[in-house]
Structure 1
Amino acid sequence: MTQIICSPTKYIQGNGEIRKLGDYCLQLGAKSAFAIIDPYIFSMYKEDISHSFELNNILIVMREFKGECSRNQVDELVLQLGLKDVEVVLGIGGGKTLDTAKAVSFMADLPVVIVPTVASTDAPCSALSVLYTDEGDFDCYLPLKRNPDMVIADIDIIAKAPTRLLVAGMGDALSTFYEARACRQSGAITHAGGTSTIAAFSLARACLDTLLAEGELALQDVKQGITTSAVEHIVEANIYLSGVGFESGGLAAAHAIHNGLTLHEGCRNTLHGEKVAFATIVQLVLEKAPSEEIAQVIDFCKRVGLPVTLKDLGITSSEIDKLMVVAEASCTQESPMWNMPFEVQAVNVLEAILAADERGQ
């Protein structure tokens, strides 16, 4: 079986990187750039961004991201970009800003530089954009030709984001090793297009080890407003280790159950990584993992403030029919549940959700 690993061409992480974007675009040979920027970042760092391009004599057109990461938004930006002599696209901000930039670069067949300003998910490194309708409903996944040319994480900016976002990123990253392990056992085809590699599985393992060793300390540090090596390591785990780990290591039950949980009205205000964290516990219950392993994951979640019960997710009613909808949705034909090394039925998922909830309590 063909083994494949994919990743951004270059991952850069450090302090004050927002002021070096012009330098990095110059490394790509670009003399003109088109930047799609989150409104808050635009208001706070517009001068820092533009100054770095002026120093390198690179023409930059900046557009504040508004609306949704929708087909219409992407088409409109591609049209604007086509009127300029642009050689690189930048996305600076959160998930939808970055996905829009990746989609625009894909449509325009241009290099893309991704600058995440939060570490809430592992999506920045991936060759995928999630598109929504103009009203904000899920539309489709847009597979891209390649991973970003550069991913640049500015620790100073990420550390100032709400702590809940960093914790949610830890929840998303928490599933990486366990899902990669399941895919390795089943020989599943990953998002990269082949089976997992030693490198991808090693990154997934390093991701988990980093979270368990430094996640709680990093959270304490950002709450105090200080940037330490623990914060730097958790940002790398959330964005890069988990990003390459999930795309080339594979997804399994945890993300399948997350997808089902999105249908439950109680989870409406729960973040992606928060749902994934609880779903990781459910996967371990499904696998009949050693009690010590499940306890370790639950303990970590409690220490950093990730959900370990249905109530933590916002599900206060134990109506079995609604949970069965979640379970059935996690086992659809296109679901990563099929990457598990054994057959899983909706009733098994329901039982595991209830058992995980009981363990969490």
Structure 2
Amino acid sequence: MKIFTSPGKYVQGPKILKTNLAMITAYGKQAIIVTDSFVWEMIGKTFNENLQKEAIATTIILLDKQSPNKDENPIVCREEAIDFVIALGGGKAIDFGKAVANKQKVPVIVVPTAASTDAPTSAISVTYDDKGFFQSYHYYDKNPDLVFVDTDVLVNAPVRMLKSGIADGLATFIEAEAVAKSHGKTLAGGTQTIAAHALAKTCEETLFFYGKQAIAANEAQAVTPAFEAVVEATTLLSGLGFESGGLAAAHALQNSFSSIEGEIQKKTHGEKVAFSTLVQLMLQGDSEERMERFITFYQSIGLPTTLNELGLGLSDKELLSLCEKTVDSEDTMKQMPMKITGNDLFWAIRATDSYVKMKVSAHK
């Protein structure tokens, strides 16, 4: 059974938080805004004032001000009637906003403040155990009702966030291609559609074609056609592509990397995905031409391509143990079109690191 899923509506453009507010206020008169203190000061106060001018009553949840005790958390305990939830910010705000809306059975509007991940469009959050090791994907009843992407806000976000989103997006087709070959199950709950595969491919093509132009635009804080194209690719194309196209080795390894203490935790999600994507290419025996296309592009925009750049300070024994946990978990490594063992993954990581170093030395 094939399944394709998507948000109810996706809207993108500059200054739409000011010019198209009616698309948000149409959802009701009582709203919860889930955000954090930094985003609140940056754009949240003004956004909230504009909502109140339209007679929208809002309750503000600042995630960094909440009790770590779930039983004391107002997000969990909230009982008053609300019409909709606005998730304003990055990944944590988006995940919490989806969770609140799902609990309350009301619409959720996602307003991202950076193009750093493809989380805004999906009906999914990732959960980890107390040690930070991947546990599972949490699936909500439906995708966000509205994804509202103000590119005037995103162009003022740190350039590192856009680079991270590009790296995350460049994994989308690599993983969707593997899932298609294995006839595997996607995160939407079924097998892959032609549409999801095509969107994932278009995502990759767009990022390679416009990626560097978009980074330059971000550095200049200029909303250009290239910037708009890359934001759409990292947010919409990658979001639809990963959820309905499927994930494989790259994100499974990234999830494991997120459980390690040390320098690697200073890396963003996308930066870890960048190296993990190279490892997947090595695992599946891709061509040197394809490997080098990714390596060259990553290096040109400052993404990590070696273990040292990634900050992975593990002994061989520790790395092998991590690899064995990765392949034994209920993560998406199982969607690869071939059986992957802990040893396979270990040597693919080492070989990727060695291959990149060899290429760097050859060009000196």
Task: Please give the TM-score of this superposition, normalised by the length of structure 2.
Answer: 0.91
- Counterpart residue number, 1:281: 278
CA contact (8 A) 1:92 1:117 kept: yes
Does residue 209 of structure 2 align to residue 210 of structure 1? no
Offset of 1:135 from its aligned partner?
11
Matches within 5 A, 1:93-132: 93-130=89-126
Contact 2:131 2:259 in 1 (8 A): no
Alignment of 1:3 with 2:2, yes or no, is yes
Report what 2:191 is aligned to. Answer: 195
Q: Deviations over 1:272-305 (max 9, x none)?
A: 1111111111111111111101110111111111
Q: Gapped runs of 5+ residues in structure 2?
A: 358-364
Match of 2:14 in 1: 15
Distance 1:250 1:140, change over 3 A: closer
In 2: Cα distance, 1:179 partner to 1:169 partner? 16
Secondary structure of residue in 1 paired with 2:243: helix
CA contact (8 A) 2:163 2:215 kept: yes
1:261 aligns with 2:260: no
Superposed displacement of residue 39, structure 1: 1.4
Paired residue type of 1:9: G
Of 258, 272, 276, the residue aligned with 2:269 is 272
Contact in 1 for aligned 2:14/2:223 (Cα 8 Å)? no
TM-score by length of 1: 0.92
Structure 2 partner of 1:24: 23
Distance 2:240 2:213 in 1: 24
State how 1:65-76 maps to structure 2 within 5 Å: 65-67=63-65, 72=70, 76=74
1:64 to 55, 62, 65: 62
Q: Distance in 1 between matches of 2:175 and 2:67?
A: 28
Residue type of the partner of 2:350?
L
Deviation string 1:206-252 (CA, Å, 9 cap, x unpaired) is 11001111111111221122221111111111111111111100000
Q: CA deviation at 1:188?
A: 0.6
Q: Which runs of 5+ in 1 are unaligned?
A: none
**Candidates 302, 310, 314, aligned match of 2:311:** 314
- Distance in 1 between residues matched to 2:156 and 2:11, nearest whole Å: 18
- Code of the residue aligned with 1:37 in structure 2: it is T
Contact 2:134 2:255 in 1 (8 A): no
- SS of equivalent to 1:193: coil
2:236 to 234, 240, 246: 240
Q: 1:172 maps to what in 2? A: 168
SS in 1 for 2:330: coil
State the partner residue of 2:84: 88
Q: Is contact 2:111-2:147 (8 Å) kept?
A: yes
Cα separation, 2, equivalents of 1:357 and 1:41: 37
**Aligned-partner SS, 2:323:** helix
CA separation of 1:298/1:117 partners in 2, compared to 1, >3 Å: closer, same or farther? same
Maintained 8 Å contact 2:136/2:331: no
Cα 1:286/1:130, change in 2 over 3 Å: closer
Asked whether the 8 Å contact 2:71–2:77 carries over to 1, the reply is no
CA displacement at 1:79 relative to structure 2: 3.1
Partners of 1:310 and 1:357 within 8 A in 2: yes
Q: Does 2:341 align with 1:345? A: yes
Residues 74, 100 of structure 1: 8 Å contact kept: no
Mean Cα displacement is larger for which, 127-136 or 340-349?
127-136
**Alignment partner of 1:330: what SS?**
helix
Residue identity in the other structure for 1:324: L
CA 324–188 in structure 1, closer or farther in 2 if over 3 Å, else same? same
**1:74-127 deviation per Cα after TM superposition (whole angstroms, max 9, x unaligned):** 9522434x23x4201111011111111110011111110010101111111111
> 2:49 and 2:57 mapped to 1: Cα distance?
11
Cα RMSD (Å)? 2.4
Structure 1 CA distance for aligned equivalents of residues 133 and 247 of structure 2: 23
